[in-house]
Structure 1
Amino acid sequence: MDNEFERTEQVDEFWADVRIQPVCVALPAGVGYTLRAYRMSDELPEATEEETSDDEAAETDELVTRVDDGDEPVARRRVVRGEEKAEVDHDGDDDVDAEEADYDEPDPKDFEDGPEDDEDAEPAEPVVEEVPLFLSRKGKLLLFRTVEGLAAFVGSDAPHDLAGLEEWDTVAAKLTVEQLVPTEDDSYELDLVVENLRGGHDAWDADLLISAGELTRDLAYALRLESVRTSISAGSPLDDLDESLRKSVEGGIGGFLAKRRTKKIGAEQAALAWRTIIGKISAATDWRD
């Protein structure tokens, strides 16, 4: 994943100011470049109707087509059905008008006061956390085979998920090809993960596998890959593997014990699990240029 340009202090300052970083990702289909940012969840731009995912649109279409006939909304139809059922339950007469059913004897429980502290209870504070964002569109990671292609896209008016960030106008106006130099920590070789795992415990590259896990967690969150998030969630076998690798890198007694635990993890099972994950990430990647 070589880049002909150099990561200078000026480049570091530019990316630090806009709080975005270029990222290089190697997948089985090739090497590509994109952008990633971290923001607190209360800083995120609101999604627009145009940014609604294909899955959400399909779900909306499904709800719309549930109306059997006539112009009544689905919600109204459900209320009508509820009234009809109430009429039958009330006196067993299917011919009673819906208006008459509305005058059922009130339930005394409807007039009971709730708990004394309900009115004074404060709503729970929303959880604010740091979340990852990528140069993506409708649940697809935009990955460019050249930095020139990435720079051209950034300077265009094409829609994407980073456009709502307040720093984006600065990036779009000032970015040059020479600034698209990812750091070593922002370069990931997912294409090597499965092969490395199949090489056996003694061949496992802890740095490679740990960095792959970090990128995968970010992508799973940003692209809403729920099955991937589940595969690497806390307590999962792959999360246990990640934790053992991290402790083994730290060294000491804890690192020694972690290495022993790591050897109990099935290499083939880990390789198969990671192959599935990388396949899902590849399927959620939109290769450009």
Structure 2
Amino acid sequence: MARQSSHRPDTDEPGNEPVEGDSPTDSEQDEAGSTETTAEADRSETPSEPADRSLWEEVRIDPVEIALPAGSGFTLRAYRPSTALTPTDISEREQDDLFAGRSRVVEDDEEDETVVILDEELAEQFAEADEEDGGKDPKAGAGRQGEKDSADDDSADETEDEEEEGEEVPAFLTHRGKLLLFKSPEGLVTFIRSGAPHDLSQLDTWDQLVERVEPADIAPLDEDSYELDLVVENLRGGHDVWDATLLIEAGEVSRDLAYALRLPAVLDMLSPGSSLDDLDEALRATVSGGLGGFRGRRRLKKIGAQTASLGWRTIIGKISAAVDWRD
């Protein structure tokens, strides 16, 4: 029996003419592959578009990322007039009440004397600064980007309160004196939508945020990302390696946190005239450059690295103790 042929039909036979374009040549395949590769490379090199900020601009709230020795987390921050905010409830730690002042006065009935009880840790580390700054308003130094209150006369407290009535102050996602930090954007958004109690719910734009926020929106700007975990190590390295941007931003967010969490000891350590405030001003001068920058560098050399690192370790420790880590 004759074996059937298994070869492809002869192209010369009628009806078997090749159709142009049915089978691309090797060169065409190579060209197509090269085009696809180039397109993929172009897409990978194309810079990603900045996150949409319209939501945050409308609600006047910002996502913030804070890195502490225990880890990094996301939270929210807003600035509002002081008269529009109810401070976080710190009844569980009334001895640290921002509005009770940095010291507590106890009347001794037997000796009819007034005894002032100071923060012992603060007094030991900053005895000289405390002596110079005694009696200053503990709210000094709080506010947007480290703005400082120069008033230091107790007799003018009433007038000062009237002047600051409309001042914008920081508020964070807090509850009962604790800063709520979330390890992921998803965790933060889940909490926002949960209806759980917190201090930012008093904002007039909060409901709008609840309705619209998505995990992709939790993308803090560079200026809203703070690395407090690197501060102490940087200071220990000595004057030559001090990172001005890192330390200035740390001071700004720490003042904001100290005000919002009502931590008078931290505010006092960063208040005008303190050694850490001198460090902050000298660093700002070096950044500005010019003659001021030269003077700032001279001032930095007079600031002890050990004293600065010790003070910042205390500040970060107090802030860390007031953090409630979630998810």
TM-score, normalised to structure 2's length? 0.63
- The alignment partner of 1:155 has SS state of helix
CA gap 1:25/1:125 in 2 versus in 1, 3 angstroms: closer
Contact 1:139 1:223 in 2 (8 A): yes
Contact 1:7 1:179 in 2 (8 A): no
Q: Does 1:16 align with 2:57?
A: yes
CA RMSD of superposed structures (Å) = 2.2
Task: Provide the rounded CA distance (Å) in 2 between the counterparts of 1:47 and 1:197.
Answer: 33
Q: Which structure is larger by alpha-carbon Rg, 1 or 2?
A: 2
- The alignment partner of 2:202 has SS state of coil
- The alignment partner of 1:207 has SS state of helix
The match for 2:230 is 192
The match for 1:237 is 275
Task: Provide the rounded CA distance (Å) in 1 between the counterparts of 2:87 and 2:308.
Answer: 36
The match for 1:251 is 289
Query: In structure 2, which of residues 210, 225, 235 is the aligned counterpart of residue 172 of structure 1?
Result: 210
The match for 2:80 is 39
CA gap 1:244/1:133 in 2 versus in 1, 3 angstroms: same
1:209-288 pair list within 5 angstroms? 209-288=247-326
Indicate the structure whose relative CO is greater, using CA pairs within 8 Å and at least 6 residues apart: 1
Structure 2 unaligned spans of 5+ = 1-47, 98-160
Query: In structure 2, which of residues 246, 255, 265 is the aligned counterpart of residue 208 of structure 1?
Result: 246
Contact 1:228 1:280 in 2 (8 A): yes
CA gap 1:26/1:235 in 2 versus in 1, 3 angstroms: same
Contact 1:7 1:183 in 2 (8 A): no
Cα displacement string for residues 21-48 of structure 1 (whole angstroms, at most 9, x for unaligned residues)? 000000000000000000111222x469
Task: Provide the rounded CA distance (Å) in 2 between the counterparts of 1:275 and 1:52.
Answer: 23
Contact 2:90 2:177 in 1 (8 A): no
Q: CA deviation at 1:53?
A: 2.9
The match for 1:64 is none
CA gap 1:125/1:212 in 2 versus in 1, 3 angstroms: closer
Aligned AA (2:84) = E
Contact 2:172 2:179 in 1 (8 A): yes
Q: CA deviation at 1:56?
A: 4.6
Number of equivalences: 217
Task: Provide the rounded CA distance (Å) in 2 between the counterparts of 1:218 and 1:47.
Answer: 13
Contact 2:87 2:260 in 1 (8 A): no
Aligned AA (1:43) = A
Aligned AA (2:83) = D
Contact 1:7 1:181 in 2 (8 A): no
Q: State percent identity of aligned pairs.
A: 59
- The alignment partner of 2:199 has SS state of coil
TM-score, normalised to structure 1's length? 0.71
Q: CA deviation at 1:54?
A: 1.8
Task: Provide the rounded CA distance (Å) in 2 between the counterparts of 1:260 and 1:30.
Answer: 35
- The alignment partner of 1:265 has SS state of coil
The match for 1:3 is none
Task: Provide the rounded CA distance (Å) in 1 between the counterparts of 2:268 and 2:291.
Answer: 31
CA gap 1:17/1:266 in 2 versus in 1, 3 angstroms: same
Task: Provide the rounded CA distance (Å) in 1 between the counterparts of 2:270 and 2:309.
Answer: 13
CA gap 1:56/1:196 in 2 versus in 1, 3 angstroms: closer
